[in-house]
Amino acid sequence: MENCEQSSPRAREEEEDEAKRGGGEGGGEEDEKIIQFLDSMDSYLTLMDSLSSTLRQGWLELASARHSMGSSRISSALLSHKVQSAATTMQVAESNDKSVTELQTHFTLSKWAYLREGKYSGEAEAGGFQNKSSGSQLRHRGPNNFAEGCKESYSTINGSPIASDGNIQRERSKSLSVFGTLVPPKLRAAQVSFETALDSIVELANMRSMVLSSLSQLQQEMESSS
């Protein structure tokens, strides 16, 4: 009887050690999910701040252009109301990963896209987060590097060549021709700023999808460990 009483504390200690080891393994996975969620949330807030700054800059440039040319020269009344091909298109793809409970959506932006002879061509913008799974990569991804990376990384879309920089500049000038032959540099700068803002919006949409997916995985991990 005494031997049983003496051995029971040691047995309890061994059980506690095993429970701690098991909890440590599960806790490590949970910590990883938490870090991934916080990292994606940090990137989302950084993009929100960048988008706000870009839009503010675009509106200031547009206001400066209206001040130099006059409000009657730069007005929505000058825009053409004819049916035109969309210069910018959006593609939405949903993840087929069955291991993820929260369906992750990926947005792809194509600027200056046209349908010519049944073929698709345009300047590709991949939303900034395709094939970016690690938190460290997400933390340093910004809209300025995003625009440059897309120009370097994407040369074809569905086998068709994308528009060259010269064609893009011509299309940009064509879209501004409704405001006159000679437009102030501030108006061109505003156009680029709003294009950059559109890129940031697509990045935000992809990051929001990633945040929701990370949150769903974290909640699932916490429920399974409880």
- Report the predicted TM-score, pTM, of the whole model to 2 decimal places: 0.61
- Specify the pLDDT at position 52: 96
Beta-bridge mates of residue 116: 119
Query: Phi first, then psi: what are they for 18, rounded to 5°?
Result: -65, -40
What does each of the 226 residues of the chain score in pLDDT, given as a tens digit?
A: 445 444 466 665 666 555 555 455 556 777 888 888 888 899 999 999 999 999 999 999 999 988 888 877 787 777 777 777 777 888 888 766 655 555 678 888 887 754 443 444 444 444 443 433 333 344 434 444 434 444 433 334 443 344 556 777 787 887 787 787 788 889 899 989 999 999 999 999 999 988 888 888 888 877 877 6
Residue 195 CA to residue 133 CA, distance in Å, equals 26
- Specify the pLDDT at position 35: 87
C-alpha dihedral sign at 80, 81, 86, 89: positive
- Specify the pLDDT at position 8: 61
| Owner of token pair 């340093």 | 140
**DSSP assignment of 70-132:** -TTTS-GGGS--S----SEEEEEEE---TT-SSPPEEEEEEEEEEEETTEEEEEEE--S-TT-
- HSE-CB at 17 with a 13 A cutoff on CA atoms is 6
Residue 94 CA to residue 79 CA, distance in Å, equals 35
Q: Are 175 and 191 spatial neighbours (Cβ–Cβ below 8 Å)?
A: yes
C-alpha dihedral sign at 164, 169, 174, 175: positive
- Specify the pLDDT at position 158: 40
